[in-house]
Amino acid sequence: MSEHKSQDNGSSEERTPKNFLEEIIEKDLKEGRQESVLTRFPPEPNGYLHIGHAKSISVNFGLADQYGGETNLRFDDTNPVTETIEYVENIKHDVRWLGYEWARELYASNYFEDLFGFAITLIRKGLAYVDDSSSEEIAAAKGTPTRPGTNSPYRDRSPEENEDLFRRMRDGEFPEGTRTLRAKIDMASPNMLMRDPVIYRIKHAPHHRTGDKWCIYPTYDMAHGQSDAIEKITHSICTLEFMPHRELYDWFIEKLELFPSRQYEFARLNMSYTIMSKRRLLRLVEENYVDGWDDPRMPTISGLRRRGYTPEAIRNFCTRIGVAKRDNLIDVSLLEFCAREHLNKISLRRMVVFDPIKLVITNWPEGQVEQLVSENNPEDDAAGNRMIPFSGELYIERGDFMEDPPRKFFRLGPGRSVRLKSAFIVTCDDFVKDEDGNVTEVHCRYHPDSRSGSDTSGIKAKGTLHWVSIPHAHKIEVREYDRLFDAENPVDEAAKAAKAEESGKAKEAGKAKEAGKAKEAGKAENAVKAENAGKSKNSGKAAEDTHAGKPSNPGAAGSSQDATSPEDASNSAESLQKHDFTDYINKNSLNIISEAYAEPAMADEPSVAENGPKEYYQFMRKGYYVPDKYSTKEKQIFNRTVTLRDTWAKKQKKK
């Protein structure tokens, strides 16, 4: 069962009318097709979970929780080459961090003996055969969506021969890639997946749970539906790309006479400025574009946690985007909005100056330090207050002062007044420049009767600035993270770039072809003139030379030139290689401020726990921040989660 209820996300009122999965479950329960609800979340442990998986987790666990059911966590561990214990443990950690608890922890490898038995049953029924064809030969014989496939030459082996070969495959007699077990269905099926799919393959690799016990492993389609049936899953909920697999899912259940689990598909999460492919995410890690799977720019749950996203924000995001039947692209700014909405409620407010300039209070008593009271979180009275030291020398942001400010600049400038947060109103009287003309100090006088909370000065200050007392400033490192990609859909952009390049090459080739035709036409015209001029003795030779230099059949020449040459094909492949989603990595996705100055309360920041930050912070007028996992007492490092600006809400108002 989940550790939270559906209404914790505010979803009991918001999710109306019911989505199609809720309608299906309610109908099944009402009509008695199912007595209870049992779903499953079946990740393959070949990488870290990402925000797309968070949606699937939310759907599967959320629906079971909503209807008083349960959810199994089942690892689809059928490929020993790509799967590790590290991935298994991280997946479990992520699911629990999101606030969910599974009823049973299961593995497809739990069922390897059962699945082998199912394969033997299919063989004995004449519904599976051992194929000696190579993977290339199998692919070539599959046909196309508009052309049926051709039967394998091994398709009509007897059940006895197939069972003998399959058992010998299990015993390790054959090298990897030499034989597969295929379901015997229909090589002319309009569904390509029904054209005798491979259901077992040889892999001489140790498994993270079974060791060297097995050297044959079931494919996804062989393992998935049968595992559902063994566990008596009532609603097997997948994303839309698995819709073509449903026919095969049902075929196995029918032929093996198993518990009739049913597969349903919903739209997967596609998000702007984000990659959702584990294969591509692995490339980013392996090719050092990022600092591991939990780099704060990654869309992995680990990366989001390290960046400062809360489980509540992610669950709220999953609820808001809803459950649909058609794929669409979700704006990443909605996820950022959900983070701001929750962080605003829970974050402690702190003052941190990123780009400091010195502010001297000229009428402050020399050496005096006053402790001022400031609230920790105006959204939460229980958060209490803190004391901040105030002195005659402060740091403010360089951008908060201008020598000649415009009329609507509500910060500091000569003769202008501002309020210093939780302190006093100050008025700028002067400033100091260095020999290069850079402002190094701003000189102000403070108004003693303008203390925050008891202001009797009557001075109207339009702006409020954050600040830090220089003698008490605490140095920290700040890492400002932004979107990893600067293209809304990096994969699509790479494909468009490759297509555009090919189009350009085709245009150039067309121009060259036309120029060649014109040149050849000129040669032919000159030859005719020469012949007609009566160069009698040489005319026959001239005509012969002309035909030797130009094909006698112009149509044949055109056909030859119109055909795609091996060089053209090579250029096309080269274009695809030259354009890649990594071309669109945002070079400004990380900006490190090695020396920022924080109020002294930041020195007591607790270390990061395994389950994420213990505290979340709003650096006033900057954004939301959390300590990084590498942060120490000696060197504190803070990651920016999101900026303060609510871009998604502004877009919604414009609609």
Known binding residue 50? Answer is yes
Known binding residue 239? Answer is yes
Known binding residue 276? Answer is yes
CB–CB of 121/256 below 8 Å?
A: yes
Would you call 278 a catalytic residue per the annotation? yes
In the set 74, 195, 209, 268, the catalytic residue is 268
Known binding residue 278? Answer is yes
Known binding residue 46? Answer is yes
Known binding residue 76? Answer is yes
d(CA 647, CA 236): 37
Looking at the chain, how many residues does it have?
A: 655
Per DSSP (E only), the strands in 132-228 are: 180-183, 198-202, 216-218
- Which residues, in sequence order, are bridge partners of residue 444? 361, 428
Known binding residue 44? Answer is yes
CB–CB of 256/120 below 8 Å?
A: no
Known binding residue 268? Answer is yes
In the set 278, 306, 419, 483, the catalytic residue is 278
CB–CB of 226/256 below 8 Å?
A: yes
d(CA 412, CA 401): 5
Instruction: Tell me which residue has tokens 């112009």.
Output: 554
Instruction: Tell me which residue has tokens 């035709």.
Output: 517
Rounded alpha-carbon distances, angstroms, from residue 375 to 421, 465, 521: 11, 15, 87
d(CA 270, CA 324): 12
In the set 22, 44, 163, 501, the catalytic residue is 44
d(CA 573, CA 635): 49
Known binding residue 53? Answer is yes
d(CA 264, CA 258): 18
Would you call 89 a catalytic residue per the annotation? no
- Please tell me what DSSP assigns to residue 608: P
Q: Which helix (H) or strand (E) holds 433?
A: strand 425-433
Would you call 297 a catalytic residue per the annotation? no
Per DSSP (E only), the strands in 318-409 are: 329-330, 348-350, 352-353, 356-361, 370-375, 385-390, 393-397
Tokens of 508: 């150039």
- The three-point CA angle 152-153-159 to 5° equals 90
Rounded alpha-carbon distances, angstroms, from residue 447 to 80, 368, 420, 444, 457: 72, 15, 11, 10, 7
The 10 Å CB-count burial string (b at 16+, else e) for 565-595 is eeeeeebbeebeeebbbeebbeeebbeeeee
d(CA 238, CA 441): 62
Known binding residue 611? Answer is no
Known binding residue 415? Answer is no
Q: Helix 112-124 to helix 220-231 angle, to the nearest 10 degrees?
A: 110
Known binding residue 220? Answer is yes
Q: Indicate the annotated binding residues.
A: 44-46, 50-56, 76, 220, 239, 268-269, 276-278
Catalytic annotation, residues:
44, 268, 278
Q: Indicate the annotated binding residues for ATP.
A: 44-46, 50-56, 239, 268-269, 276-278
Q: Indicate the annotated binding residues for L-glutamine.
A: 76, 220
